[in-house]
Structure 1
């Protein structure tokens, strides 16, 4: 068990230090990482210095940064004690999450679990998926709690990935019978007609991000069988017309490229026992000039309706390469000047 505490107030000549002690040296080695790379990541993020002394880690820096470093180190050590690994993404998640806002209750225990510190994990067949920011955590909770949820924000914030993960979790838990994933097949400078093959061959490239997400959560053979049995469907938005989607987990991705009429058509497909998630990025509309985005209309018209949740992401929630967040911020700043 780890014990963390601030040392007595330093003298003027001594730097301020905090210490945390770990009983299992083998886990401590894993916590530090190869060539102490895990510690280096925490040092850079929190502007502290971390030194190892036997089975203790000593943190030097500002008091608030020391306290945060202690929390992160303890959380990562708890993870190792539970038999999990510590990867860069796990460190990034602990650094991003606001510990003061974590809750302690459990919701839908067989699908979503609240672990120590109020962490959320989504169970799929291939991996456990954990939100890496507070906005992602709130989004995942809203997907379990609401029959209709919107996830709106820039690329790389996990909107679609987490929605598909929740859909797979609900499917394998028996809460829905089908997963239906859809996107508008809107051309973004490319012409569908020039692509080789039949209609499926032409639209599949537009659906590839959805296939990629499913491949992360389900074994390949099982996924292929479920698609063949139509228990998992991936189809362009136009193919949803005339259907009633009952007992299904339904995701509409890239919803900013749906027209107002398409969005209304899709939303009214919601059937008994179903959940529906709409994801989109208002800054990436590929509709022809003068055509109103259905996502913007849905925000305007549905915000006040109970049991419909709207979840928003910013560049701070980007979990891709750090440069992606910087690129998004640069474009946002430029559009603000226009």
Structure 2
């Protein structure tokens, strides 16, 4: 037997936050529960069976920490809340919603969006070496950069080193215009982007000039011992086994390293085995090392990215 129920939201800002852009969140809640949802002003009218109406009520209530403050709610937030309700992890969900890692320069909260992302953050905090494997958009590099910048500014480390192999450049590097730094900058752009979200550009320039923040290709790490440093090795699937071993053995005293990559997206020649894949096999049982796996369910970019990742995974099966 059908039921109708109205949820009155406290403000127009709350209603807008819950609904999402073009009411995407309401459409998603309707798909997840099977209920009918209509937003009129600040009133959300819900129709469906008793079970469907209850599901919507619980889901909306579980998202209250976001919409009550007019904060943006994403499709991942909705899915995480639904997963928490299905698996009776409401307490864990509240902890995830409360745990704000940082605020961007635009004043937006940075927090884990999924349970696996939260486990990844905890792994970085608890281990000197953490591997994180997952597709594009899962926040692998961004979350590590957030924690690294925080630790650097808090004085926990003397240097922040962001590195990735410039394998895509190959022999073509010499044909690019500019000096060496200008030649390699395009390959390090994603690392710069994460920094600029959190720190004023002028401050980054000052920190880089003083050598406190270093953004460099992996080849620059050879022969060095990285002590008192927070090191992020990005796009690690493009390392050779020798490069990976070299990078891991750079770790010095009072240092922390996070290695991120997507083993399905290597740019190495077809005959070359990825150093990341080999490292995961060799090191999976070594004490003191954390290995985290993120999936398409942890993609926090535009909802379309999640569907693109899923479509490619299905095609490869």
- In 1, the alpha carbon distance for the partners of 2:288 and 2:217 equals 26
Return closer, same or farther for 1:152/1:42 CA change in 2, 3 Å cut-off. same
The superposition leaves residues 172-231 of structure 1 with CA deviations (integer Å, 9 ceiling, x where unpaired) of: 233222211000010268821221112111111100110111111111221121111111
1:49 to 12, 36, 45: 36
Q: Which residue of 1 aligns with 2:61?
A: 74
- In 2, the alpha carbon distance for the partners of 1:79 and 1:219 equals 27
- Could you list the runs of 5+ residues in structure 2 that have no partner in the other structure? none
2:243 to 212, 237, 262: 262
SS at match of 1:216: helix
Q: Which residue of 2 aligns with 1:40?
A: 26
Q: Which residue of 1 aligns with 2:195?
A: 214
TM-score by length of 1: 0.80
1:91 to 74, 95, 98: 74
Is residue 76–residue 298 contact of structure 2 (8 Å, CA) maintained in 1? no
1:256: Cα distance to partner?
0.6
Superposition pairs of residues 1-338 of structure 1, within 5 angstroms = 12=1, 15-17=2-4, 20-22=7-9, 24-25=10-11, 28-32=14-18, 37=23, 40-46=26-32, 47-51=34-38, 57-61=44-48, 65-81=52-68, 84-87=69-72, 90-97=73-80, 98-99=83-84, 100-101=88-89, 119-124=98-103, 126=105, 127-187=108-168, 191-336=172-317
- Could you list the runs of 5+ residues in structure 1 that have no partner in the other structure? 1-11, 105-113
1:257: Cα distance to partner?
0.7
Q: Which moved more, 1:268-277 or 1:294-303?
A: 268-277
Two-structure CA RMSD over aligned residues (Å): 2.9
TM-score by length of 2: 0.85
- In 1, the alpha carbon distance for the partners of 2:254 and 2:277 equals 26
Structure with higher RCO (Cα < 8 A, 6+ apart): 2
SS at match of 1:86: coil
Is residue 21–residue 56 contact of structure 1 (8 Å, CA) maintained in 2? yes
Q: Which residue of 2 aligns with 1:108?
A: none
The superposition leaves residues 59-118 of structure 1 with CA deviations (integer Å, 9 ceiling, x where unpaired) of: 33456654443344224433354xx4322xx232321213233655xxxxxxxxx96566
Number of positions where the alignment pairs a residue of Structure 1 with one of Structure 2: 309
1:329: Cα distance to partner?
2.9
SS at match of 2:99: strand
- In 1, the alpha carbon distance for the partners of 2:39 and 2:167 equals 55
